Amino acid sequence: MKDMIKVNKYIDHPQGKQLTCLNQAKFSWVVFPLSPIERIVTSVNRCTLEDERTTRPPSPVTFTMITTRTLLLAISLSGILLACWEMHCRSLGFLPTMEDDKHLWAEKRSLVRDNDPDQVIIIGASRAHFDFQLDEWEEMTGVRPLMLAANGKSPAPVLKDIIENTAFNGTLVMNITPGLFFIAPHDSVGGWRRASQWVDFYHERTWAQRLNHQLAYTLQPYFAFLTDGEEGDPDLKSLMASLPPKGRTRPGTPFPRFSQVEADRNTIMLARMETDTQFQNTIKNAWATFSRGNERNDEIIPVSFSFYLDLINQFKARGGKMILTFNPSDGMYTEMEGRVYPRELYYDAFVRQSGCPAYHFKDYPQLDQFTPPEWSHLCTPDARVYTREILAIMKADGVL
């Protein structure tokens, strides 16, 4: 009986590397006896088919698997590196913080309520920002104040904005830092100009800027490595800025961040400020540099007094309550402020003319027990005690 075999009708590709199906639609199988030549052709075709199977390129499934594994590996490595950088930042004393800029301030300014006698707003410069702790204030009074004090800025433009552009009639706590309080209400004065720019931004900001703020600040309360914007911060831009140009010393006075800001603008001084004398001296040196050239100029008294008194009288007339405070200072600041802004001519005279309840730390032993580590702001443990003590005095006086 003759040999019989099923043969797929293929022929060789002209280049000898591929096979072409004669049927075009599907394989066609036939049974026929093999001649010697046909057996040779069949063997060649089988070898060619085996060669095609071994040289066929990888399937798309294999490529997808490789891509997925690479992506997962990249994500894992990125997560590990970010976790290490976060731990390093926290080991240096950084905490998750909000960037205390005009966007955050404007967001809080939008919370000022009209005709709400129970709302409390704090305005002033950095001493109010550092020294009044919002958790303690809320615990002592049952009301969480709105923090609108701003570092390095006068309260004058903020007071003017609240009096003229709102119907707020609650309690305003205004802290007096002489160098930023007793000034001319004009953009040529740095403390006024910086505060005025933030007030203007609040009124002129667009919806796009508001949305951008919300998106940009979503993660900041949770990760310390997102702290940025000031010298010594752990972001790349700040680190690069801290490097001196090649062959030269870095210009300017070192002034690293020494506080963290929470979402409601409650401020916490970095813990290292309490014990690191070198860090304290760096900030003290900055204060001494910034305060050079301060000279007594009593001509500013009538200009400054009339500006504040007019606004305070308007505020009282609509049922608002104003409380004045003078928070602790030490060292160079106490000496300079006493020389340039004598208390009897400035603070005492202003309090008398305003008719507002006022609390100077030197007038109360329980408020004069603290020493600011860098002359101007209380460390957070002391600020918490200070907040409790001054509120206890205010409550005893029936002011709050």
Per residue in 181-211, pLDDT (tens digit) is 999 999 889 999 999 999 999 999 999 888 8
Residue 387 has a pLDDT of 98
**Which CATH architecture describes the domain 92-244+255-396?**
3-Layer(aba) Sandwich (3.40)
- pLDDT tens sequence across 243-254: 555 554 445 567
Query: In this predicted structure, which of 27-41, 126-140, 332-346 has the lowest mean pLDDT?
Result: 27-41
Residue 119 has a pLDDT of 98
**Residue 36, SS3?**
helix
Residue 164 has a pLDDT of 97
pLDDT confidence of 99, banded at 50, 70, 90? confident
**330 DSSP assignment:** -
Q: How far apart are CA 102 and CA 88, in angstroms?
A: 29
User: Bridge partners of 5?
Assistant: 32
Residue 66 has a pLDDT of 67
Residue 213 has a pLDDT of 76
- pLDDT tens sequence across 109-124: 999 999 999 999 999 9
Q: pTM of this prediction?
A: 0.74
Where are the extended beta strands (E) located within the chain? 4-8, 10-12, 19-21, 29-33, 120-123, 146-147, 171-175, 259-261, 267-269, 321-326, 358-360
Residue 15 has a pLDDT of 42
Domain with CATH 3.40.50 in the chain: 92-244+255-396
57 pLDDT exceeds 60? Answer: no
Mean pLDDT across 77-106: 79
315 pLDDT exceeds 70? Answer: yes
pLDDT confidence of 96, banded at 50, 70, 90? low
Q: Which carries the bigger pLDDT value, residue 66 or residue 192?
A: 192
Q: How far apart are CA 57 and CA 161, in angstroms?
A: 72
Residue 188 has a pLDDT of 87
Task: Round the average pLDDT of the chain to a whole number and report it.
Answer: 82
Torsion over CA of 264, 265, 271 and 272, rounded to 10 degrees? 150
Of 177, 137, 132, which Cα lies nearest the Cα of 341?
A: 177
Residue 18 has a pLDDT of 41
Residue 18 has a CB neighbour count (10 Å cut-off) of 10
